[in-house]
Amino acid sequence: MRTEPTAVRVVLAEDGVLLREGLAGLLARFGFDVAAAVDDAEALLAAVAEHRPDLVITDIRMPPDFSDEGLRAAVRLRRADPGLAVVALSQYVELSYAADLLDSGDGRRVGYLLKDRVVDVADFVAALRQVLDGGTVVDPKVIRQLIGRRRDPLAALSPREHEVLALIAEGHSNAAIARRLVVTDATVGKHVRSILAKLDLPQTDDTHRRVLAVLTYLRGRPPAPDPG
């Protein structure tokens, strides 16, 4: 665990000028310290090396060729420093990218959100804080698409368990899930144990198993072939 400074230092990478400025303004408004706002992956790597931020927010597709430069940079940064919190922003749902990102490090302190999510200002900031606190946040829309794919190993889960797993994937704690589904904490705990058993996950510490459950979820779909 790193010591949290008073203000969270952020490096922001986004090629769209309007969104970059909007995000910088939003972050400043909520007390984040925006150390650098850049517009391509190379500048992102350089800025991270220079400013040692606590949080990186990056667009997945950036110049020069708009494939997945931002994502690859994010994965590289996570390999070098698994403790670095990274939130990737995507124009549309790309499940394989989400899986790539969540695979980096130990699957904690990462977020995968759709760009449109930033306009729900309060939710977006809450998601950033969750990631900084060691959580895993995946956009509800991504989760919804995953639920639409009843595939092994997820096929074994009941609809209620799907719902709970979706909430876990969004980074919620058991207590928050219980509040949302209007059930007791004990019931949620039972669902979680059942999910972990059904997904055949190893017995390690609970948070980590939760992340693995999310990853299993995200791998419910074979990754799309790379653009060749």
Partner 1 sequence: MPNDPPPTLLAAMGSRGYLLTAWPWRAAGYLLSTMAVVVAAGLPLVLLGMPLLLAAASDAALGERALPAVLGLLLVAGLGPAVTIPLTGLERRRLRLVDVRPAGPGHRRPPERGVLPWFRTRYTEPVTWRALGYFLLLSAAVPVLYAAMLSALAFEFGAVAAPLILLGGDGPMVLGPLRLATPAEALPYAVAGLVLLPAVPYLLALVAAAQGALARTCLRNGPDGRLQAELVEVARSRARLVDAFEAERRRIERDLHDGAQQRLVSLTLKLGIARVDLPPGSPAADSVADAHAEAKLLMTELRELVHGIHPRVLTDRGLAAALGELADRSPLAVTVEADLPGRLPRQVESTAYFAAAEALTNAAKHSGADRAAVVARLSGGVLTVEVADEGAGGADPSRGTGLTGLADRVAVIDGRLLVSSPAGGPTLVRVELPCEPNRPPSG
Q: Which stretch binds partner 1 (CB under 8 A): 39-47, 98-106, 184-192, 220-228?
A: 220-228
Query: Per rule CB under 8 A, is residue 72 in the interface with partner 1?
Result: no
Min dist. Cβ of residue 41 to partner 1 (A)? 16
Query: Per rule CB under 8 A, is residue 92 in the interface with partner 1?
Result: yes
Query: Per rule CB under 8 A, is residue 83 in the interface with partner 1?
Result: no
Query: Per rule CB under 8 A, is residue 29 in the interface with partner 1?
Result: yes
Query: Per rule CB under 8 A, is residue 63 in the interface with partner 1?
Result: no
Question: HEC states along the chain?
Answer: CCCCCCCCEEEEECCCHHHHHHHHHHHHHCCCEEEEEECCHHHHHHHHHHHCCCEEEEECCCCCCCCCHHHHHHHHHHHHCCCCEEEEEECCCCHHHHHHHHHCCCCCCEEEEEHHHHHCHHHHHHHHHHHHCCCEEECHHHHHHHHCCCCCCHHHCCHHHHHHHHHHHCCCCHHHHHHHHCCCHHHHHHHHHHHHHHCCCCCCCHHHHHHHHHHHHHCCCCCCCCCC
Query: Per rule CB under 8 A, is residue 7 in the interface with partner 1?
Result: no
Give the residue, chosen from 76, 115, 160, 208, that forms a contact with partner 1 under the rule CB under 8 A. 115
Q: Which stretch binds partner 1 (CB under 8 A): 45-53, 114-122, 190-198, 199-207?
A: 114-122
Comparing CB distances to partner 1, the nearer of 30 and 33 is 30
Query: Per rule CB under 8 A, is residue 159 in the interface with partner 1?
Result: no
Q: Which stretch binds partner 1 (CB under 8 A): 142-150, 174-182, 183-191, 206-214?
A: 142-150
Is residue 74 within 8 A of residue 68, CB to CB? The reply is no
**Which residues make up the interface to partner 1 (CB under 8 A)?**
16, 18-19, 21-23, 25-26, 29, 61, 66-67, 91-95, 115-116, 118-122, 145, 148, 150, 221, 224-228
